Structure 1
Amino acid sequence: MSRATPLNHMPAPAPARSPGDYLERAAWVVLAAMPLALAFAVRSSAALIGVAALLALTGAVTGGRGRALVARAWAGARSLPGAFLPLFAALAAVSLLWHPFPRLGLFAMGEAFAPLVAAVILGLSLGRLQRRAVFILFASLFALACVEVLVELFTGMAWRYAVGMRPALFVLNKPVICFVVLYWPLWSLSEGMPRRGLTMGALGLLMAVAVFKSVSGAAMLALICGGLTFGLARLAPRFAWGLVMAGLFAALALAPLKGDLAQRAVPGWALDRLQALHARDRVEIWQSFGEVVLLQPFTGVGFGVSPKMGDAPVARLIPGEHRTLLAVGHPHDMFLQIWSELGALGALLAAVALAWLGKALLMLRRREELPPALAAISAVIIIAEVGHGAWQGWWLAILGAAAIWFCKSFEAVRYDTAPPSAAGDTLAS
């Protein structure tokens, strides 16, 4: 007759999964699917982060974490980063008082702040991720997204033509921009995984082929700068931090003068050689929007006015050679867009946010956390300097997703690597 197993050696039964747990898992799946979704529907990231936020919030409430969620939200609202978003929204709303096209401003506010609010809700609602499972999911979907973009590039976007679309290659710029930003939080998430170097190296190579096969000069430059920053930060983290922060503040401070500085510093032959990337056009656009800043330096023209800047009253005061390019839709420099739409007030608020970001980076507890974070910021700087409009929802959704992935991956790694007695304190922090 077999001896009965002592009760204290009986395996603990697995906790029952609640509907809230499944909803939270679904939120992680939606968030991980962002690169792949963008490869098929190039503006879908804003919708995805909204769906993920709704799933996570519903999961938190049905899982009995509603009170904790409210407490975290209240604590966050009293902090500097928690106050930044409401202050920025308030400034944008106040700018409607002098906005030449208030309805356009309202639309821009909706497009910009919806994904940002969704990102905040996600950050508050999501619990600690199951790192191994989520990494496998995120890496697999990321690889599939790169493959899909490569298939489109090598087949001349055949499937889109087959379904009656008439796309241009530049529509794939958005997914490759997503790749060069979200690769770095994926690197953080991969810490401690088996064959990490081989897996992330292969994924990085696949991404690089997709990026350099595309027509996105911004993504190419961002990938190069991100990689160089990552390498430098592993060798000299403090120096790399100082370099990235100096770049951020210089980009913000010099934005109104950027066009004139580029015109004087870059030889004409260099602009001609780079004309495939519209280098000369960009310089002239920066000059045009710089003129707007000089005319309305303190308040700007109004939040989100850039798509119709050429029709704004301020355009009539600008010389003809610069007035024409105000109609291009945006200044191709997000820092210059802040200056031209919100003036020195907006730039000051952005400077405060950048200062807080720099301090937060210095407070990262583990040496391994800083290089991928700096690499992602370096890539974002490059895209912001030469890319698209600042308030486009798909772009802000990518930034929000990157911030969530970084925060949750750092939290999970700290918990997984902490001694058992300290794991609770690590997670709480």
Structure 2
Amino acid sequence: MTTAVAAPSTRDGFAVWCGWVLIAIAAATPAFAWLAPKGFAALVALGGLLTLPAFRIRDEDRPSLIILFAALIWAAASTTWSPFHPKGASTSTILKMALELPLYWSLVCAAHRAEAGLRQRALHVLAWGLTAFAVILVAETFTGGALYQALRRTVYGDHVMRPDIAQAKLGHATFVMTAILPIAFVGAPRRLRIGLGVVMVLGAGAAAYAFGSDAPLIALVAAPLIGLATLRWPTAIPRLMSLGAAVLFLCAPLVVWTVRAFADYEGIEHAMPKSYALRMGYWSHAIDWIALRPLQGWGLDASRMFAPGIQLHPHDGPLQVWLELGAVGAITAAAFWSVSLLRLTRPRRDPAAAATAACAGVYLLFGALNFGMWQEWWLAMGALIVVLAALLQPSTSPPILA
């Protein structure tokens, strides 16, 4: 009588764990986009914490991480001259960023480490989830946000959110969806990709139009153009985007100053819709304060102290970097984006690189018009884009972003 001895399994248990963590994040992404976009900071940080053993620094990652670390050190130093003083850990931007960098990076590493089949499953889950969310968004356009309000009533009892606020929240959700839609499209099951993509675009577009979100509508046009151009010119377009991002961060104050000096800035401002007129006012005040401290800036989170000229932040990421961190901060931001986008260059067509370039373009667009540079949920969205881009990339291919 003989006993069969089972061959030892070669399956990497930690790679499987990373894969399932990423599947859970992909499944949760549409729900967070719809109901709690600010929760992305906790979601991505938790994912990084659960996959912390995946943390690695490869040779090709060093330039990006060195720039990020240098920027973190400079931001920390700037808190010593900033007029804004956090009341505790919950309002300390520098403390949050110091924790976010290793946690978010560990999740990026986990995306590279995860088992190939589970990486693909995570992308499929994301695509189906965003498609379902798109259907919900279409329904919300007909109901004026009634589904969202009903959920609020269920969660908060007697508290009823005003319809206009609910619609603004839904408009906010379209920013999240359009920021990751190119990756979701390329990661969708191949045979269903076109159909799922059409539904996602229609849902995001309908809600953005109905609820007054202009930037996502622009993104729905810009993202396909960037993606297709990157497919057609896989070397030239990432290089051009790298240069463009550097110019955006280095020359943002000059652009506003030029318009103000050689055009009727106030006339343009008064002719704009209210939200854009307010932005133009913030930008004008920002360059005046930048001129007073062009090198070192006013310190991290100083924008919060410049009311009523600026409310919370200038609604322009590059100008906020200049205002708070000065030329030093602008140079590090330009260097980070330039290095990251250059990593998308390919010798031949690469759908993963094209989708990532499209997402990067959308992220830069939104950052230049809408959100505060250091909002934790917005930084988490940037990290999530990098994580999803890593899922698209075969392990034998060149690294994508970082």
State if a TM-score over 0.5 links the two structures. Answer: yes
* Structure 2 counterparts to residues 36-75 of structure 1, below 5 A: 36-57=31-52, 66=53, 69=54, 72-73=56-57, 75=58
Aligned residue number for residue 334 of structure 2 = 351
Partners of 1:351 and 1:185 lie apart in 2 by 24
Aligned residue number for residue 29 of structure 2 = 34
Give the RMSD, CA atoms, in angstroms: 3.2
* Structure 2 counterparts to residues 151-166 of structure 1, below 5 A: 151-162=139-150, 163=153, 164-166=159-161
* Structure 2 counterparts to residues 328-343 of structure 1, below 5 A: 328-343=311-326
Aligned residue number for residue 216 of structure 1 = 213
Task: Note closer, same or farther for the CA distance 1:39–1:262 as it changes in structure 2 (3 Å cut).
Answer: farther
Aligned residue number for residue 411 of structure 1 = 394
Partners of 1:241 and 1:227 lie apart in 2 by 15
Q: More deviation in 292-301 or 18-27? A: 18-27
1:336: Cα distance to partner? 0.5
2:118 matches 1:118: no
Partners of 1:151 and 1:41 lie apart in 2 by 19
Task: Note closer, same or farther for the CA distance 1:206–1:237 as it changes in structure 2 (3 Å cut).
Answer: same
Aligned residue number for residue 122 of structure 2 = 134
Q: More deviation in 359-368 or 215-224? A: 359-368
Aligned residue number for residue 188 of structure 1 = 186
Aligned residue number for residue 88 of structure 1 = 71
1:134 alignment partner AA: A
> 2:252, 2:319 within 8 Å by CA — same for their partners in 1?
yes
Structure 1, unaligned runs of 5 or more: 1-6, 58-65, 311-323, 416-424
> 2:296, 2:326 within 8 Å by CA — same for their partners in 1?
yes
Task: Note closer, same or farther for the CA distance 1:24–1:407 as it changes in structure 2 (3 Å cut).
Answer: closer
Structure 2, unaligned runs of 5 or more: 154-158
Task: Note closer, same or farther for the CA distance 1:255–1:97 as it changes in structure 2 (3 Å cut).
Answer: same
Q: Deviations over 1:26-70 (max 9, x none)?
A: 34312442232121113111111122222323xxxxxxxx5xx46
1:174 alignment partner AA: H
Task: Note closer, same or farther for the CA distance 1:147–1:44 as it changes in structure 2 (3 Å cut).
Answer: farther
Q: Secondary structure at the match of 1:172?
A: helix
2:123 alignment partner AA: F
> 1:330, 1:337 within 8 Å by CA — same for their partners in 2?
yes
Q: Deviations over 1:305-329 (max 9, x none)?
A: 212233xxxxxxxxxxxxx322x11
> 1:226, 1:375 within 8 Å by CA — same for their partners in 2?
yes
* Structure 2 counterparts to residues 386-401 of structure 1, below 5 A: 386-401=369-384
Q: More deviation in 176-185 or 330-339? A: 176-185
1:215: Cα distance to partner? 1.8
Aligned residue number for residue 135 of structure 2 = 147
Number of corresponding residues: 379
2:182 alignment partner AA: W
Aligned residue number for residue 246 of structure 2 = 249
1:251: Cα distance to partner? 1.5
What is the TM-score of this pair, normalised by structure 2?
0.82
Partners of 1:102 and 1:402 lie apart in 2 by 31
1:98: Cα distance to partner? 1.1
Q: Deviations over 1:241-273 (max 9, x none)?
A: 344234312221221133333444578776556
Partners of 2:102 and 2:259 lie apart in 1 by 36
Task: Note closer, same or farther for the CA distance 1:269–1:307 as it changes in structure 2 (3 Å cut).
Answer: closer
Q: 1:178 aligns with which of 176, 179, 187?
A: 176
Partners of 2:269 and 2:306 lie apart in 1 by 25
1:125 alignment partner AA: A
> 1:282, 1:332 within 8 Å by CA — same for their partners in 2?
yes
Larger Rg: 1
Aligned residue number for residue 366 of structure 2 = 383
> 1:30, 1:52 within 8 Å by CA — same for their partners in 2?
yes
1:119: Cα distance to partner? 1.7
> 1:31, 1:401 within 8 Å by CA — same for their partners in 2?
no
Task: Note closer, same or farther for the CA distance 1:160–1:371 as it changes in structure 2 (3 Å cut).
Answer: closer
> 1:27, 1:55 within 8 Å by CA — same for their partners in 2?
no
Partners of 2:61 and 2:218 lie apart in 1 by 38
1:337: Cα distance to partner? 0.5
1:50 alignment partner AA: A
Q: Deviations over 1:70-104 (max 9, x none)?
A: 6x24x469811122222121111111221122326
Q: More deviation in 235-244 or 394-403? A: 235-244
Task: Note closer, same or farther for the CA distance 1:176–1:359 as it changes in structure 2 (3 Å cut).
Answer: same
Q: Secondary structure at the match of 2:122?
A: helix
Q: More deviation in 371-380 or 293-302? A: 371-380
Q: Deviations over 1:265-287 (max 9, x none)?
A: 578776556415x2222112101
Q: Secondary structure at the match of 1:411?
A: coil
1:182 alignment partner AA: I
Task: Note closer, same or farther for the CA distance 1:361–1:380 as it changes in structure 2 (3 Å cut).
Answer: same
Task: Note closer, same or farther for the CA distance 1:116–1:226 as it changes in structure 2 (3 Å cut).
Answer: farther
